[in-house]
Amino acid sequence: MKAQEIIRSIESEQMKQSLPTIYVGDTVKVGVIIQEGGKERTQPYEGVVISKKGSGINQNITVRKTFQGVGVERVFLLHSPRIESIKVLRRGKVRRAKLYYLRDRVGKATRLKQRFDRSLNS
Amino acid sequence: MSVGILGTKVGMTQIFDESGKSVPVTVIQAGPCTVTQIKTKETDGYMAVQLGYGEVAQKALNRPELGHLSKVGAGPLRHLKEYRLADSAQYELGGQVKVDIFEPGQVVDVIGTSIGRGFAGYQKRHNFRRGPMAHGSKNHRLPGSIGPGTTPGRVYPGRRMAGRMGGCQVTIRKLTIVRVDTERNLLLVKGSVPGKPGGLLNVVPAKQVGK
Protein backbone atom coordinates (compact mmCIF):
# COMPACT_ATOMS: atom_id res chain seq x y z
CA MET A 1 0.00 0.00 0.00
CA LYS A 2 1.20 3.48 -0.78
CA ALA A 3 1.78 6.08 1.88
CA GLN A 4 -1.20 8.26 1.03
CA GLU A 5 -3.53 5.25 0.91
CA ILE A 6 -2.42 4.16 4.38
CA ILE A 7 -3.05 7.57 5.84
CA ARG A 8 -6.38 7.89 4.07
CA SER A 9 -7.51 4.52 5.39
CA ILE A 10 -6.58 5.50 8.95
CA GLU A 11 -8.48 8.76 8.58
CA SER A 12 -11.52 7.20 6.96
CA GLU A 13 -12.05 4.96 10.00
CA GLN A 14 -12.57 8.08 12.10
CA MET A 15 -14.55 10.17 9.68
CA LYS A 16 -18.30 10.62 9.91
CA GLN A 17 -20.31 9.08 7.12
CA SER A 18 -22.91 11.77 6.77
CA LEU A 19 -22.32 15.46 7.24
CA PRO A 20 -24.64 18.15 5.93
CA THR A 21 -23.30 20.33 3.13
CA ILE A 22 -22.20 23.51 4.86
CA TYR A 23 -21.43 26.72 3.02
CA VAL A 24 -19.84 29.89 4.31
CA GLY A 25 -22.61 32.27 5.35
CA ASP A 26 -24.93 29.57 6.61
CA THR A 27 -26.50 29.78 10.02
CA VAL A 28 -25.89 26.48 11.77
CA LYS A 29 -26.76 24.84 15.05
CA VAL A 30 -23.94 22.67 16.39
CA GLY A 31 -24.55 20.16 19.16
CA VAL A 32 -21.40 19.98 21.27
CA ILE A 33 -20.92 17.26 23.87
CA ILE A 34 -19.60 18.81 27.07
CA GLN A 35 -18.70 17.27 30.40
CA GLU A 36 -20.38 18.69 33.43
CA GLY A 37 -19.54 17.17 36.80
CA GLY A 38 -18.90 13.69 35.47
CA LYS A 39 -22.00 13.83 33.29
CA GLU A 40 -22.15 14.37 29.57
CA ARG A 41 -24.73 16.50 27.87
CA THR A 42 -25.19 18.22 24.54
CA GLN A 43 -24.93 21.97 24.39
CA PRO A 44 -26.28 23.73 21.32
CA TYR A 45 -24.25 26.51 19.73
CA GLU A 46 -25.82 28.61 17.04
CA GLY A 47 -24.18 31.10 14.73
CA VAL A 48 -22.95 32.04 11.27
CA VAL A 49 -20.24 30.04 9.50
CA ILE A 50 -17.59 32.62 8.66
CA SER A 51 -14.84 30.24 7.49
CA LYS A 52 -14.31 26.71 6.28
CA LYS A 53 -10.84 25.22 6.45
CA GLY A 54 -8.97 21.98 6.01
CA SER A 55 -9.87 18.80 4.24
CA GLY A 56 -10.41 15.18 5.15
CA ILE A 57 -10.36 14.53 8.87
CA ASN A 58 -9.06 18.02 9.59
CA GLN A 59 -12.05 19.79 8.09
CA ASN A 60 -13.24 22.55 10.38
CA ILE A 61 -15.63 25.49 10.45
CA THR A 62 -15.54 28.74 12.39
CA VAL A 63 -18.94 29.73 13.77
CA ARG A 64 -19.52 33.27 14.97
CA LYS A 65 -22.31 34.62 17.09
CA THR A 66 -22.88 37.67 19.20
CA PHE A 67 -23.66 36.85 22.80
CA GLN A 68 -24.66 39.68 25.15
CA GLY A 69 -23.03 42.19 22.84
CA VAL A 70 -19.76 40.28 22.74
CA GLY A 71 -18.63 38.48 19.59
CA VAL A 72 -17.89 34.80 20.16
CA GLU A 73 -16.16 32.56 17.63
CA ARG A 74 -15.72 28.82 17.97
CA VAL A 75 -13.84 26.48 15.67
CA PHE A 76 -15.36 23.03 15.26
CA LEU A 77 -13.58 19.98 13.88
CA LEU A 78 -16.43 18.55 11.84
CA HIS A 79 -15.40 14.90 12.23
CA SER A 80 -14.77 15.11 15.96
CA PRO A 81 -16.83 12.73 18.09
CA ARG A 82 -17.50 15.68 20.39
CA ILE A 83 -19.66 17.23 17.69
CA GLU A 84 -22.90 15.34 18.06
CA SER A 85 -24.96 17.06 15.41
CA ILE A 86 -24.84 19.89 12.91
CA LYS A 87 -27.99 21.37 11.51
CA VAL A 88 -28.21 24.06 8.86
CA LEU A 89 -30.91 26.53 9.82
CA ARG A 90 -30.52 29.14 7.09
CA ARG A 91 -28.52 29.57 3.91
CA GLY A 92 -26.84 32.95 3.57
CA LYS A 93 -25.96 34.85 0.42
CA VAL A 94 -22.33 35.96 0.58
CA ARG A 95 -19.65 36.94 -1.90
CA ARG A 96 -16.58 35.99 0.15
CA ALA A 97 -15.04 32.67 1.16
CA LYS A 98 -14.07 34.12 4.57
CA LEU A 99 -16.46 36.47 6.33
CA TYR A 100 -13.89 38.04 8.63
CA TYR A 101 -15.35 41.46 7.85
CA LEU A 102 -18.24 40.57 10.14
CA ARG A 103 -15.86 41.02 13.08
CA ASP A 104 -15.75 44.75 12.43
CA ARG A 105 -19.49 45.12 12.26
CA VAL A 106 -22.12 45.36 14.96
CA GLY A 107 -25.87 45.19 15.10
CA LYS A 108 -27.86 45.42 11.92
CA ALA A 109 -24.78 45.48 9.71
CA THR A 110 -23.98 41.82 10.58
CA ARG A 111 -27.12 40.53 8.92
CA LEU A 112 -26.72 38.32 5.86
CA LYS A 113 -29.23 38.05 3.04
CA GLN A 114 -30.93 34.68 2.86
CA ARG A 115 -30.69 32.56 -0.26
CA PHE A 116 -33.32 30.04 -1.23
CA ASP A 117 -31.73 28.10 -4.10
CA ARG A 118 -29.87 25.73 -1.78
CA SER A 119 -31.92 23.26 0.20
CA LEU A 120 -31.36 22.97 3.94
CA ASN A 121 -31.18 19.17 4.10
CA SER A 122 -28.40 18.13 1.79
CA MET B 1 18.93 -3.07 26.35
CA SER B 2 15.95 -4.31 24.42
CA VAL B 3 15.19 -4.91 20.83
CA GLY B 4 13.68 -2.18 18.65
CA ILE B 5 12.38 -2.18 15.13
CA LEU B 6 13.28 -0.51 11.84
CA GLY B 7 10.64 1.20 9.77
CA THR B 8 9.71 3.86 7.27
CA LYS B 9 7.99 7.13 8.00
CA VAL B 10 4.67 7.22 6.17
CA GLY B 11 3.40 10.65 7.17
CA MET B 12 1.38 12.50 9.75
CA THR B 13 -2.31 12.68 10.44
CA GLN B 14 -4.58 13.02 13.43
CA ILE B 15 -6.87 10.64 15.25
CA PHE B 16 -9.43 11.08 18.00
CA ASP B 17 -8.85 9.47 21.40
CA GLU B 18 -11.56 8.05 23.71
CA SER B 19 -12.43 11.45 25.14
CA GLY B 20 -12.81 12.87 21.63
CA LYS B 21 -9.62 14.90 21.67
CA SER B 22 -7.67 15.15 18.45
CA VAL B 23 -4.18 13.64 18.76
CA PRO B 24 -1.44 14.40 16.19
CA VAL B 25 0.21 11.15 15.14
CA THR B 26 2.99 10.00 12.87
CA VAL B 27 2.36 6.78 10.95
CA ILE B 28 5.38 4.48 10.80
CA GLN B 29 5.41 1.34 8.69
CA ALA B 30 7.73 -0.83 10.75
CA GLY B 31 9.07 -4.28 10.12
CA PRO B 32 8.80 -7.15 9.78
CA CYS B 33 12.53 -7.30 10.42
CA THR B 34 14.59 -10.45 9.97
CA VAL B 35 17.15 -11.49 12.55
CA THR B 36 20.30 -11.62 10.43
CA GLN B 37 22.93 -12.23 13.09
CA ILE B 38 23.07 -13.13 16.75
CA LYS B 39 26.10 -11.98 18.70
CA THR B 40 27.01 -13.88 21.81
CA LYS B 41 29.50 -13.40 24.61
CA GLU B 42 31.61 -16.32 23.36
CA THR B 43 31.97 -15.25 19.73
CA ASP B 44 31.77 -11.45 19.91
CA GLY B 45 32.33 -10.49 23.53
CA TYR B 46 28.86 -9.03 23.96
CA MET B 47 25.24 -9.94 23.38
CA ALA B 48 23.25 -8.39 20.54
CA VAL B 49 20.95 -9.17 17.66
CA GLN B 50 21.23 -7.70 14.20
CA LEU B 51 18.00 -6.94 12.37
CA GLY B 52 17.59 -6.47 8.63
CA TYR B 53 14.89 -4.38 7.02
CA GLY B 54 13.87 -3.18 3.58
CA GLU B 55 13.88 -5.71 0.77
CA VAL B 56 15.74 -4.62 -2.34
CA ALA B 57 16.78 -6.16 -5.64
CA GLN B 58 19.66 -8.62 -5.63
CA LYS B 59 21.88 -6.28 -7.65
CA ALA B 60 21.46 -3.45 -5.17
CA LEU B 61 23.81 -5.15 -2.70
CA ASN B 62 27.42 -6.12 -3.12
CA ARG B 63 28.74 -9.63 -2.71
CA PRO B 64 29.99 -9.36 0.89
CA GLU B 65 26.57 -8.08 1.94
CA LEU B 66 24.78 -10.84 0.02
CA GLY B 67 27.12 -13.39 1.51
CA HIS B 68 26.34 -12.19 5.00
CA LEU B 69 22.60 -12.40 4.35
CA SER B 70 22.76 -15.77 2.56
CA LYS B 71 23.67 -17.41 5.88
CA VAL B 72 20.21 -16.46 7.13
CA GLY B 73 18.33 -17.42 4.01
CA ALA B 74 16.56 -14.07 3.95
CA GLY B 75 16.28 -12.02 0.78
CA PRO B 76 18.56 -9.07 0.08
CA LEU B 77 17.95 -6.44 2.76
CA ARG B 78 19.00 -2.80 2.58
CA HIS B 79 19.35 -1.84 6.23
CA LEU B 80 21.05 -3.74 9.03
CA LYS B 81 20.91 -2.55 12.62
CA GLU B 82 22.29 -4.02 15.80
CA TYR B 83 20.50 -3.96 19.17
CA ARG B 84 22.47 -4.80 22.30
CA LEU B 85 20.65 -7.10 24.65
CA ALA B 86 21.12 -8.54 28.13
CA ASP B 87 20.27 -11.94 26.71
CA SER B 88 20.28 -12.70 23.00
CA ALA B 89 19.55 -16.43 23.36
CA GLN B 90 15.80 -16.04 22.92
CA TYR B 91 16.23 -14.96 19.31
CA GLU B 92 16.94 -17.37 16.49
CA LEU B 93 18.58 -16.70 13.18
CA GLY B 94 16.05 -15.87 10.45
CA GLY B 95 13.33 -15.12 12.99
CA GLN B 96 11.01 -12.16 12.59
CA VAL B 97 10.59 -9.09 14.72
CA LYS B 98 7.24 -7.40 14.19
CA VAL B 99 5.40 -4.38 15.53
CA ASP B 100 3.74 -6.53 18.21
CA ILE B 101 6.83 -6.00 20.40
CA PHE B 102 5.20 -2.65 21.19
CA GLU B 103 1.86 -1.97 22.80
CA PRO B 104 -0.31 1.15 22.90
CA GLY B 105 0.70 3.52 25.66
CA GLN B 106 4.33 2.44 25.62
CA VAL B 107 6.96 5.19 25.56
CA VAL B 108 9.52 4.96 22.75
CA ASP B 109 12.48 6.83 21.30
CA VAL B 110 12.47 7.38 17.55
CA ILE B 111 15.82 7.77 15.80
CA GLY B 112 16.08 9.08 12.27
CA THR B 113 17.88 11.44 9.94
CA SER B 114 16.72 15.05 10.02
CA ILE B 115 15.75 16.95 6.89
CA GLY B 116 18.84 18.41 5.21
CA ARG B 117 18.83 22.21 4.97
CA GLY B 118 22.02 22.57 2.95
CA PHE B 119 24.34 25.47 3.73
CA ALA B 120 22.30 27.44 6.24
CA GLY B 121 23.03 30.88 7.65
CA TYR B 122 23.29 32.09 11.23
CA GLN B 123 19.60 32.73 11.77
CA LYS B 124 18.37 29.37 10.56
CA ARG B 125 21.20 27.27 11.95
CA HIS B 126 21.86 28.84 15.35
CA ASN B 127 18.84 31.11 15.95
CA PHE B 128 20.91 34.31 15.92
CA ARG B 129 19.04 37.61 15.98
CA ARG B 130 18.98 39.52 12.74
CA GLY B 131 20.10 43.11 12.32
CA PRO B 132 17.75 46.02 11.69
CA MET B 133 16.13 45.91 8.26
CA ALA B 134 15.65 49.68 7.88
CA HIS B 135 17.15 53.08 8.80
CA GLY B 136 20.10 52.59 6.44
CA SER B 137 21.29 49.41 8.11
CA LYS B 138 23.20 47.06 5.89
CA ASN B 139 23.56 44.44 8.62
CA HIS B 140 20.59 42.16 7.96
CA ARG B 141 21.63 38.54 8.44
CA LEU B 142 25.28 38.92 9.43
CA PRO B 143 26.69 37.37 12.62
CA GLY B 144 28.18 40.50 14.22
CA SER B 145 31.46 40.15 16.04
CA ILE B 146 33.00 36.70 16.11
CA GLY B 147 35.62 37.48 18.76
CA PRO B 148 38.20 39.92 20.22
CA GLY B 149 40.98 41.68 18.23
CA THR B 150 44.78 41.37 18.27
CA THR B 151 44.61 39.38 21.45
CA PRO B 152 44.10 36.45 20.89
CA GLY B 153 44.42 37.17 17.16
CA ARG B 154 42.34 34.19 16.17
CA VAL B 155 38.78 32.94 16.33
CA TYR B 156 38.17 30.49 19.13
CA PRO B 157 37.20 26.98 18.08
CA GLY B 158 33.52 26.19 18.50
CA ARG B 159 32.36 29.64 17.36
CA ARG B 160 28.92 29.14 15.84
CA MET B 161 28.90 29.98 12.16
CA ALA B 162 27.02 29.25 8.95
CA GLY B 163 27.36 25.80 7.45
CA ARG B 164 25.69 22.55 6.64
CA MET B 165 22.52 22.00 8.61
CA GLY B 166 20.33 18.95 9.02
CA GLY B 167 20.83 15.54 7.48
CA CYS B 168 22.28 14.18 10.72
CA GLN B 169 21.00 11.64 13.20
CA VAL B 170 18.34 12.93 15.56
CA THR B 171 16.65 11.12 18.42
CA ILE B 172 13.19 12.20 19.51
CA ARG B 173 12.74 10.86 23.01
CA LYS B 174 9.68 9.75 24.96
CA LEU B 175 7.02 9.54 22.28
CA THR B 176 3.88 7.62 23.19
CA ILE B 177 2.58 4.82 21.00
CA VAL B 178 -1.07 5.46 20.29
CA ARG B 179 -1.94 2.42 18.21
CA VAL B 180 -0.31 -0.75 16.92
CA ASP B 181 -1.66 -2.27 13.72
CA THR B 182 -0.21 -5.78 13.45
CA GLU B 183 -2.09 -6.55 10.24
CA ARG B 184 -0.57 -3.74 8.23
CA ASN B 185 2.64 -3.46 10.29
CA LEU B 186 1.87 0.09 11.36
CA LEU B 187 2.83 2.07 14.43
CA LEU B 188 1.03 5.28 15.31
CA VAL B 189 3.24 7.48 17.45
CA LYS B 190 2.07 10.70 19.09
CA GLY B 191 4.01 13.69 17.84
CA SER B 192 6.51 14.23 15.07
CA VAL B 193 9.62 12.27 14.12
CA PRO B 194 12.77 13.28 12.22
CA GLY B 195 12.98 13.24 8.44
CA LYS B 196 10.64 13.21 5.50
CA PRO B 197 8.10 10.53 4.58
CA GLY B 198 9.99 7.54 3.20
CA GLY B 199 12.91 8.02 5.57
CA LEU B 200 14.35 5.20 7.63
CA LEU B 201 13.43 5.22 11.31
CA ASN B 202 14.61 3.20 14.26
CA VAL B 203 11.97 2.79 16.97
CA VAL B 204 13.28 1.58 20.34
CA PRO B 205 11.73 1.40 23.80
CA ALA B 206 12.51 4.65 25.63
CA LYS B 207 15.93 4.85 27.20
CA GLN B 208 15.73 5.36 30.93
CA VAL B 209 18.43 7.80 31.91
CA GLY B 210 20.04 7.21 35.29
CA LYS B 211 18.89 3.63 35.78
Measured CA distances, A61 to A79, A87, A92, B23 (Å): 11, 13, 15, 18
More confident residue, B73 or B63: B63
Task: Give A16→chain B minimum CA distance, Å.
Answer: 12
Asked if residue B192 and residue B208 are part of one domain, the reply reads yes
pLDDT tens, B77-90? Answer: 899 999 988 877 78
Asked if residue B106 and residue B87 are part of one domain, the reply reads no
Which residues of chain A does B27 touch, with a Cβ-Cβ cutoff of 8 Å?
A: 6-7, 10
- Whole-prediction pTM: 0.84
Asked if residue B57 and residue B78 are part of one domain, the reply reads yes
> Is the model's pLDDT at B133 over the cut of 80?
yes
> Is the model's pLDDT at B74 over the cut of 90?
no
Asked if residue B81 and residue B55 are part of one domain, the reply reads yes
Of the partner residues B13, B22, B198, the one whose CB lies closest to the CB of residue A7: B13
CATH code, domain carrying B66 = 3.30.160.810
Asked if residue B22 and residue B47 are part of one domain, the reply reads no
ipTM, 2 decimals?
0.80
Asked if residue B105 and residue B3 are part of one domain, the reply reads yes
Pairing relation of β-strands B186-190 and B22-30? Answer: antiparallel
The parent domain of residue B125 ranges over 1-31+99-131+161-211
DSSP secondary-structure letter at B114?
P
Asked if residue B192 and residue B90 are part of one domain, the reply reads no
Asked if residue B174 and residue B93 are part of one domain, the reply reads no
In chain B, whose CA is at the least distance from the CA of A55? B13
Q: Which of B178, B9, B6, B207 is nearest to B108 (CA)?
A: B207
A6/B186 CB distance under 8 A: yes
Task: Give B17→chain A minimum CA distance, Å.
Answer: 9
In chain A, whose CA is at the least distance from the CA of B26? A7
Asked if residue B85 and residue B183 are part of one domain, the reply reads no
A33/B197 CB distance under 8 A: no
Of the partner residues A3, A14, A33, the one whose CB lies closest to the CB of residue B16: A14
> Is the model's pLDDT at B211 over the cut of 80?
no
* Sign of the Cα pseudo-torsion (B119, B121, B123, B125, in order): positive
In chain A, whose CA is at the least distance from the CA of B198? A3
Q: CB of A89 within 8 A of CB of A114?
A: no
What integer pLDDT is reported at residue B130 of this predicted model? Answer: 92
User: Which domains are present in chain A?
Assistant: 2-110 (2.30.30.790)
* Residues of chain A below pLDDT 50: none
